[in-house]
């Protein structure tokens, strides 16, 4: 039994080609030689990393990324809101790379390139030559592998794990080999450790196996059962963690996403499926023009589709249908972005299912458009985005994270010679303070949600702490003040920071900050005008971000 079928390499027809595009012809010739796809992925990482460095020159990392790094500081089998894979990946990355914006932007694009490489592993099972490249180029036209991937979080880690798990499942189904059965189970577990939404991918595997003509041979063998046992063994530590911690991620997901009425959940399910269709519309239209296909031809090809590709199609269908059914049945949210990591399945079926060879000129044109669009985005759109965001800040306040963290750390060291060890406040600002402060304090959820966490009366922070709220967030400020009032002495600041880009002043951000010096360490005398024992000092600081090699300085 084999999922792959031989497709002859595209025959290059003589045609007129502009001189500056001729290197692309050589590049296509190198696909089966083994160097062209790695070169494409390296170029992809380089160009889009440059884009994010330029576009976010006056903006810091997204809160999701900061949360990912914060969780990964403590290697565990699970976290309060998420399975552990994203935290593990961030921790492994920072063992090699520094804690900087560009480092995590590079991580995001490397993760996306790894995802595309895993997709190519599947595509090469069915096609050779140009069509392998076309699959990747069409995917690069989607915002999934750039802008969605830039937020390295639980959704982003599914980009490589889903195609990797799919590839191993296909190989195990094809060969009935025990080694591939073990690999299928292990990679399926890896996807589940990325996000529980991966259960729908596993459901797609089961549905595809049941619908396949060779299902009897598959289920009569040990292959599926070895995969299941391997997956459960790999997940056992995490399952134990769930059982002993009250299944916190599941409870959090249920609280945040469940409880919707039938009507809204039906609308969510419909929009979830519609978003996937609309996202695929552009690459589908481009491919139809390249392959010169009409709707009738597509239907005919689908009816006679090779069983292996039909398997891939059923998996993809399951990843759309099963979540939609679940949303309606359980009354939950079903966000459109949750479908993005599975779109590669349909692109593979669309390209690999076309029997006739494609014209080399059309492939070269597609590569030129994809490369040109990426370069224009990196060197034209990125500077424009940076200029715009300098005066129109991000809603989550990421223009000011590093400035505010540096300023609060400076004030901490003006009060004490001890390092800042504990950070809190609004979620996003607590993550930012932990990441951007030179002391890298530990994120403490009791200072993020002091009321809901119900601190005991004897709760203490002997090493002191610092926390920030957005100006106008009365709940956060009141909550932190209640906690701070238990300390012998605390200080409250009002801080204003202002971004700048190339010397041009931009928007300003306002924050309320609390500082509780350590009680078990020697502290420096407070500056004049500050009273001991719960004294409150209100200051107004405005300082401009100046850069030297991208590092803010006073």
State mean pLDDT over 266-292: 91
- Separation between Cα atoms, residue 489 and residue 374, nearest integer Å: 54
Residue whose token pair is 């971004």 = 499
11 has a pLDDT exceeding 60: no
532 has a pLDDT exceeding 50: no
End-to-end CA distance of the chain: 67
Residue 467's closest CA among 502, 503, 432? 432
Mean pLDDT of the chain: 86
DSSP letter for 379, please: I
**Residue extents of the structural domains in the chain:** 19-378, 401-553
445 has a pLDDT exceeding 60: yes
pLDDT digits (tens, 9 = 90+) for 482-510: 888 888 889 998 999 988 888 888 899 99
- Separation between Cα atoms, residue 16 and residue 294, nearest integer Å: 27
Total count of residues recorded for the chain = 554
Residue 79's closest CA among 230, 189, 194? 194
Q: Are strands 551-553 and 442-443 parallel, antiparallel or unpaired?
A: unpaired
**What pLDDT does residue 457 have?**
39
Residue 388's closest CA among 534, 504, 234? 504
Residue 536's closest CA among 513, 552, 553? 513
Residue 273's closest CA among 210, 194, 343, 330? 343
Instruction: Give me the residues paired with residue 516 across strands.
Output: 465
Q: What's the pLDDT band for 173 if we cut at 50, 70, 90?
A: very high
Cα separations (Å) of 3 from 35, 214, 265, 460?
25, 11, 37, 62
**What pLDDT does residue 489 have?**
86
Q: Are 83 and 249 in contact (CB under 8 A)?
A: yes
pLDDT digits (tens, 9 = 90+) for 384-428: 999 999 989 988 889 999 999 999 999 999 988 899 999 999 889
Q: Which two tokens stand for residue 155?
A: 């959704």
Q: Are 514 and 466 in contact (CB under 8 A)?
A: yes
Q: Which of 2-16, 288-302, 344-358 shows the lowest per-residue confidence on average (mean pLDDT)?
A: 2-16
Is pLDDT larger for residue 215 or for residue 357?
215
**What pLDDT does residue 294 have?**
62
Phi and psi for 496 in degrees, rounded to 5? -120, 125
Percent share of the chain, pLDDT over 90? 63
**What pLDDT does residue 297 have?**
66
Q: Where are the alpha helices (DSSP H) in 418-465?
A: 427-436, 445-448
Non-local (6+) Cβ contacts of 552 within 8 A are: 402, 403, 406, 545, 546
């Amino acid at each position: 039994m084999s999922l792959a079928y031989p497709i002859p390499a595209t025959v290059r027809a003589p045609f007129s080609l502009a001189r500056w595009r001729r290197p692309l012809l050589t590049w296509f010739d190198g696909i089966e030689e083994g160097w062209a796809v790695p070169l494409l992925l390296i170029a992809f990482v380089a160009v889009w990393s440059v884009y994010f460095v330029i576009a976010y020159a006056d903006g810091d990392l997204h809160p999701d990324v900061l949360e990912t790094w914060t969780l990964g500081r403590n290697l565990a089998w699970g976290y309060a809101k998420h399975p552990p894979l994203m935290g593990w990946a961030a921790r492994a990355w920072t063992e090699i790379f520094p804690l900087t914006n560009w480092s995590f932007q590079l991580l995001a694009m490397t993760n996306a390139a790894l995802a595309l490489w895993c997709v190519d592993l599947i595509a090469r099972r069915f096609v050779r030559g140009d069509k392998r490249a076309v699959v990747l180029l069409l995917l690069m036209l989607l915002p999934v592998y750039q802008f969605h991937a830039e937020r390295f979080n639980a959704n982003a880690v599914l980009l490589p794990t889903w195609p990797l798990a799919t590839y191993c499942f296909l190989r195990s189904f094809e060969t009935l080999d025990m080694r591939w059965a073990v690999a299928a189970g292990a990679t399926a577990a890896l996807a589940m450790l990325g996000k529980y939404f991966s259960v729908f991918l596993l459901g797609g595997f089961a549905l595809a196996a049941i619908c396949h003509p060779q299902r009897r041979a598959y289920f009569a063998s040990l292959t599926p059962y070895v995969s299941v046992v391997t997956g459960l063994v790999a997940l056992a530590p995490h399952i134990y963690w769930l059982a002993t911690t009250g299944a916190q991620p599941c409870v959090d997901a249920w609280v945040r996403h469940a409880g919707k009425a039938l009507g809204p959940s039906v609308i969510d399910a419909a929009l979830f499926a519609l978003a996937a269709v609309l996202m695929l519309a552009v690459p589908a239209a481009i491919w139809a023009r390249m392959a010169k296909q009409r709707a009738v031809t597509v239907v005919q090809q689908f009816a006679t589709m090779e069983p292996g590709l039909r398997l891939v199609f059923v998996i993809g269908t399951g990843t759309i249908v099963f979540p939609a059914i679940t949303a309606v049945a359980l009354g939950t949210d079903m966000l459109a972005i949750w479908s993005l990591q599975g779109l590669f399945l349909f692109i593979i079926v669309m390209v690999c299912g076309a029997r006739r060879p494609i014209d080399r000129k059309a492939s070269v044109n597609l590569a030129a458009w994809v490369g040109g669009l990426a370069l224009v985005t990196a060197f034209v759109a990125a500077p424009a985005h940076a200029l715009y965001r300098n005066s129109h800040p991000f809603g989550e306040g990421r223009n000011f994270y590093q400035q505010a963290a540096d300023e609060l750390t400076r004030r901490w060291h003006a009060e004490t010679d001890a390092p800042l060890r504990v950070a809190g406040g609004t979620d996003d600002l607590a993550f930012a303070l932990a990441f951007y402060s030179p002391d890298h304090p530990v994120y403490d959820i009791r200072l993020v949600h002091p009321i809901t966490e119900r601190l005991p009366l004897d709760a203490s922070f002997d090493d002191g702490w610092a926390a920030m709220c957005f100006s106008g967030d009365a709940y956060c400020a009141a909550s932190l003040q209640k906690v701070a009032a238990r300390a012998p002495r605390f200080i409250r600041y009002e801080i204003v920071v202002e971004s700048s880009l190339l010397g041009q002043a931009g928007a300003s951000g306002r924050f309320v900050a609390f500082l509780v010096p350590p009680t078990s360490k020697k502290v420096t005398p407070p500056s004049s005008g500050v009273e001991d024992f719960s004294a409150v000092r209100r200051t107004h600081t405005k300082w401009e971000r100046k850069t030297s090699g991208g590092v803010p300085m006073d």
